[in-house]
Structure 1
Amino acid sequence: MKKLIAVLALGASIATVAAPETTIVQASTINDTAKQNSFSGVTYAEQVLAQEGIKYNDFSAANPINYRNGKPEGVVIHETATPNATARNECIYFNREWMNIYSYVHAFVDKTGVIQMTSPDYGVWGAGPVANNRFVQVELCEENNLADFAKGVNNDAIYVAQILHRYNLEPDNAVHDGKGTIWSHHAVSTFLGGTDHTDPDGYFAKWGYSMDDFFDLVKYYYDQGTPADNAPVDNDTVTPPAPATPAKKPAVLPKPVATKVLIHNALVYDENGVATDLPTKKAGTKLTIYGNQTIKKRKYLQIGVNQYVVASNVEGKLRPLSHNAYLYDGKGKRVGTNKLYRGNYVRTYGGRVKIKGRKYYPIDVNQFVKVGNFK
């Protein structure tokens, strides 16, 4: 707890940028352009990282920061100050480094959409100790042309409107008086303290844009309500904000009990025994085991938060040989001349696999015995 308090006291904040040379553009034109783009949607960090084969380091599970009033009081708008870095780039970086840089936000937004890093039901380390337990915090990625900038602010505005609806908050611009639900990081520095950053003002100014213009765009989408409140829209019109998917409260893993090698490729299941969209775990992978659980009369091993594999892929089952048996590799090629002799018991893992039309049982990583050799 002392360490957490010390970290929060650091006022961990996302980097800002000095105001660049201003590009003169009519902000009303930018908002008009933004509204011509459909919402690109929300993707969750766990999905993005799984596609890259990267472990999700759940910030909220490790550091559950409760809001001072039980729910968010508004949204803080940041910008990354990292030219050409996408939301995916930022997602991967912050997932890896948040415990070293003491910084984290709820979502990254770019021209392609929103990547939500963690549940907005809990605070993060984004705008200093005064703001961190008050606000949802969203980072806008820097784009390098006006069209992509308009797409980015459009995605950002719709996501912010979703957040306001989700927590029954009304749009109120806090930039000028420090009172409201939509804040810039600069406004936090000015009115609340604990940080000295001024984003996203400099980045917005580059495009002749401002927080007032962004507020107008959020208000536009907020007033549209949710899809349930509106008639269906055509594909060539702006998609109204969809209600955010309720996030589960963060789960905390028990202490690991073992590290074991997976012998048979394994799907990843949830706590209900339903296969997830996570990548298949490959034979030879070392798994950290957090315990076991019987789901629908089948034994599973827990390998992560709400992640399980069938136990037989790791623990195996003894089977008696009825014939002498050679060993084969994953291509169905016989390995050496050594035999396993009939009458002995051999541990096999998982179900049968088919290699070049023949059925085998795995007995080790890249070692197989023909099914016909067992009783």
Structure 2
Amino acid sequence: MTVPLIATNILTLKYYIQKIIIRGKGDFMNYGITEKLIKNNRPGEKLFPRGVVVHSTDNKGATAENHYNYWNNNACAKSSAHYVIDWKSIIRLIPENEIAWHAGKLTNQRFIGIEICEPFNGETGKFIEAWKRAVWLTASLCIKYNWTTVNNVYSHYGVSRIFRESNHTDPYGYFARFYKSWNIFLYEVDTEIINQETLKKR
């Protein structure tokens, strides 16, 4: 039987809400960060971050290590990010107090950039692992800088609309391919913030 797309989205939303509630009772995420600072595609300018911008790579199958190698070895790329995340790792490429080239000039001067790697279609397990790491990292940054998802967490699509420096719409299309949405991402980040704050009090 073919399930209508809207029904599938509703079922998926219910499933993840249940998972969030269960996780809120004590199943806390915890991921390590590997620092591998790139030597190229770093302007060396100071950044006083006001928030975070979440991107997706639009490079199906390429890992965080692949993107590290590309940005580290290709001086002409003229693009970069502070973090790149895949289904196995989180790599810090540029310090948070230094500008990265992940969007237009105004965005780069204000925000930390996170790139989420994209698995091939149908690789749902890899998507979920990358998604969880992105949720965890975004929540961790919000706690570190006393940010909120309402005021400080943006998609590339969001800053494109605000600053009019590009026409990028990521990570909307990537999330939709795996029956997720930007609103669900923000909801899970908010939940993870609560979980991490609760863990600190124990």
TM-score category (smaller protein): 0.7 to 0.9
User: Structure 2: which 5+ runs fail to align?
Assistant: none
Query: Structure 1 residue 73 and structure 2 residue 50: aligned?
Result: yes
Whole-Å separation in 1 of the counterparts to 2:172 and 2:194: 25
> Is this contact kept in 2: 1:79–1:140, CA < 8 A?
yes
* SS at structure 2 position matched to 1:130: helix
Query: Structure 1 residue 196 and structure 2 residue 170: aligned?
Result: no
User: Of 40, 44, 69, which residue of structure 2 is paired with 1:92?
Assistant: 69
Larger relative helix fraction: 2
The verdict on how the C-alpha distance between 1:204 and 1:112 changes in structure 2, with shifts beyond 3 A counting, is same
* SS at structure 2 position matched to 1:142: coil
Residue of structure 2 in register with 1:57 after alignment = 39
Residue of structure 2 in register with 1:248 after alignment = none
Whole-Å separation in 1 of the counterparts to 2:199 and 2:178: 34
Residue of structure 2 in register with 1:27 after alignment = 13
Residue of structure 2 in register with 1:224 after alignment = 195
Query: Structure 1 residue 165 and structure 2 residue 143: aligned?
Result: yes
Bigger mean CA offset, 29-38 vs 76-85: 29-38
> Is this contact kept in 2: 1:37–1:151, CA < 8 A?
no
The verdict on how the C-alpha distance between 1:92 and 1:156 changes in structure 2, with shifts beyond 3 A counting, is same
Whole-Å separation in 1 of the counterparts to 2:96 and 2:186: 20
> Is this contact kept in 2: 1:224–1:230, CA < 8 A?
no
**Normalised by the size of structure 1, how large is the TM-score?**
0.46
Instruction: Report the Cα offset of residue 33 of structure 1.
Output: 5.4
User: Of 38, 42, 57, which residue of structure 1 is paired with 2:33?
Assistant: 42
> Which fold has the larger relative contact order, with Cα–Cα distance below 8 Å and residues 6 or more apart in sequence?
2
Match for 1:190: what amino acid? R
Whole-Å separation in 1 of the counterparts to 2:107 and 2:119: 27
Larger relative strand fraction: 1
The verdict on how the C-alpha distance between 1:230 and 1:112 changes in structure 2, with shifts beyond 3 A counting, is farther
The verdict on how the C-alpha distance between 1:213 and 1:102 changes in structure 2, with shifts beyond 3 A counting, is same
* SS at structure 2 position matched to 1:149: helix
Report the count of equivalent residues: 188
Whole-Å separation in 2 of the counterparts to 1:142 and 1:212: 19
* SS at structure 1 position matched to 2:107: coil
Residue of structure 2 in register with 1:154 after alignment = 132
Residue of structure 1 in register with 2:177 after alignment = 206
* SS at structure 1 position matched to 2:102: coil
Query: Structure 1 residue 140 and structure 2 residue 116: aligned?
Result: yes
**Normalised by the size of structure 2, how large is the TM-score?**
0.83
Match for 2:54: what amino acid? I
The verdict on how the C-alpha distance between 1:193 and 1:65 changes in structure 2, with shifts beyond 3 A counting, is farther
> Is this contact kept in 1: 2:40–2:71, CA < 8 A?
no
Please list, as runs of the form range in 1=range in 2, the aligned pairs for 1:212-251 lying within 5 A after superposition.
Answer: 212-226=183-197, 229-231=200-202
Percent identical residues = 24
Whole-Å separation in 2 of the counterparts to 1:114 and 1:215: 19
Whole-Å separation in 2 of the counterparts to 1:88 and 1:214: 24
Whole-Å separation in 2 of the counterparts to 1:45 and 1:31: 35
> Is this contact kept in 1: 2:135–2:185, CA < 8 A?
yes
Whole-Å separation in 2 of the counterparts to 1:214 and 1:142: 16
**Considering only CA atoms, is the larger Rg found in Structure 1 or Structure 2?**
1
User: Structure 1: which 5+ runs fail to align?
Assistant: 1-21, 47-55, 173-179, 232-375
